[in-house]
């Protein structure tokens, strides 16, 4: 029994070593990834609950690591946030989204607004707005085609700064969505001070929506959004049942595997051109 115990420890040691090694490898190669263009963007459609038309899309980053294979953002965004590399990565995302939009406009693709994720550290970066302004003017893309998804923690760290930044983005026509709503520990009183366009209901609530209490929360968030003159969108919609329930609650838009997962540029253009 003792020997077995030892083997088990060795097994866990090995697993732990692999995890530490992987994290170390990710940290080390993140910088190179930017230079070598190992990142790419996928697009996930957002659907109007009533008309079922595509009304927008979320840009989601992917990393094709030469040795580790596909590394999901769940694995490297935190690492990038800690090291500060999220700022140049975030700049790449802004540039990439604007370049795509420019290309699609020129090609006559029937366009929708594309929202990109902005991490707290990137949002707090003092050059964030200037960089956005610069890229929009260089690519001659209107901010009306762009949205940003910010989490509550990105906002409440410095409320005054956040307010100013959000105002400036909105002046450019950029829409502001609150991501992962309800998962932070903040009170939602800050919503009174922020001209936000849309509240994005976190997938954790959508997943449990068949349970009465989670359903009640989803319902309340949708009314909260409407009472504040904002729109609501639910993410992580995986079943018809969830979609129907959200519709009955008056949720404006939906996003999730039930409609479509994230797709590459070619497939996305196909969806925009000929529908889901
Ligand atoms: P998020 O912003 O909450 O994005 C939603 C995540 O749910 C995405 O995971 C998406 O692929 C996934 N998803 C979509 N539909 C469904 C569904 O029906 N069911 C389930 N279970 N999941 C669904 P992904 O692409 O792996 O991204 C994970 C997180 O990484 C994102 O969470 C976001 O916080 C972050 N992220 C992704 N791209 C970027 C980026 O360009 N910049 C920054 N700063 N963060 C990003
Ligand atoms: Ca998001
Ligand atoms: Ca989210
Ligand atoms: Ca999330």
- What confidence score (pLDDT) does residue 113 get? 98
In this prediction, the answer to ipTM > 0.95 reads: yes
The set of residues, in sequence order, having a beta carbon less than 8 Å from that of 159 and lying 6+ positions away, is: 190, 193
% of the chain residues with pLDDT over 70: 96
| CA 117–ligand 1 middle distance (angstroms) | 9
Alpha-carbon gap, residue 274 to 74, rounded angstroms = 31
Q: Is 138 helix (H, G, I), strand (E, B) or coil?
A: helix
The separation between CA 212 and the C-alpha centre of its own chain, rounded to angstroms, equals 27
- What confidence score (pLDDT) does residue 1 get? 47
The separation between CA 185 and the C-alpha centre of its own chain, rounded to angstroms, equals 19
Report the pocket of ligand 1 as residue ranges, CB < 6 Å: 44, 60-61, 72-74, 77, 90, 93, 116-117, 119, 149, 179-180, 203, 235-238, 256-257, 262
The predicted model scores a pTM of 0.93
Is pLDDT above 80 for 128?
A: yes
Taking residues 223-227, report their average pLDDT: 94
At 58-95, the pLDDT tens digits run 999 999 999 889 999 999 999 999 989 999 999 999 99
- Could you identify the atom of ligand 1 that is nearest to the CA of residue 73? 30
- What confidence score (pLDDT) does residue 3 get? 56
At 17-66, the pLDDT tens digits run 888 888 888 888 998 998 899 999 999 999 999 999 999 999 999 999 99
118 confidence band (pLDDT: 50, 70, 90): very high
């Amino acid at each position: 029994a003792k020997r077995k115990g030892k083997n088990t420890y060795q097994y866990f040691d090995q697993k732990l070593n692999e995890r530490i090694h992987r994290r170390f490898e990710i940290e080390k190669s993140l910088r190179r990834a930017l230079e070598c263009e190992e990142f790419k963007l996928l697009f996930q459609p957002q659907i109007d609950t009533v008309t079922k038309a595509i009304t927008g899309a979320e840009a989601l980053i992917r990393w094709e690591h030469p040795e580790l294979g596909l590394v999901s953002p769940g694995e490297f965004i935190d690492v990038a946030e800690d090291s500060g590399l999220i700022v140049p990565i975030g700049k790449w995302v802004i540039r990439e989204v604007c370049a795509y939009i420019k290309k699609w406009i020129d090609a006559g693709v029937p366009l929708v607004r594309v929202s990109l994720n902005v991490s707290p550290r990137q949002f707090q970066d003092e050059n964030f707005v200037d960089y956005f302004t610069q890229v929009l003017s260089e690519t001659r893309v209107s901010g009306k085609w762009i949205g940003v998804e910010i989490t509550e923690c990105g906002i409440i760290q410095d409320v005054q700064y956040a307010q100013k930044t959000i105002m400036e983005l909105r002046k450019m026509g950029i829409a502001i969505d609150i991501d992962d709503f309800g998962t932070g520990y903040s009170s939602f009183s800050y919503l009174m001070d922020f001209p936000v366009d849309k509240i994005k209901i976190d997938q954790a609530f959508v997943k449990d929506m068949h349970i009465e209490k989670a359903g009640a929360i989803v319902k309340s968030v949708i009314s909260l959004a409407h009472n504040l003159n904002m729109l609501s969108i639910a993410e992580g919609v995986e079943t018809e049942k969830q979609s129907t329930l959200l519709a009955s609650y008056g949720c404006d838009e939906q996003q999730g595997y039930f409609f479509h997962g994230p797709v590459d540029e070619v497939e996305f253009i196909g969806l925009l051109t000929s529908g889901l």
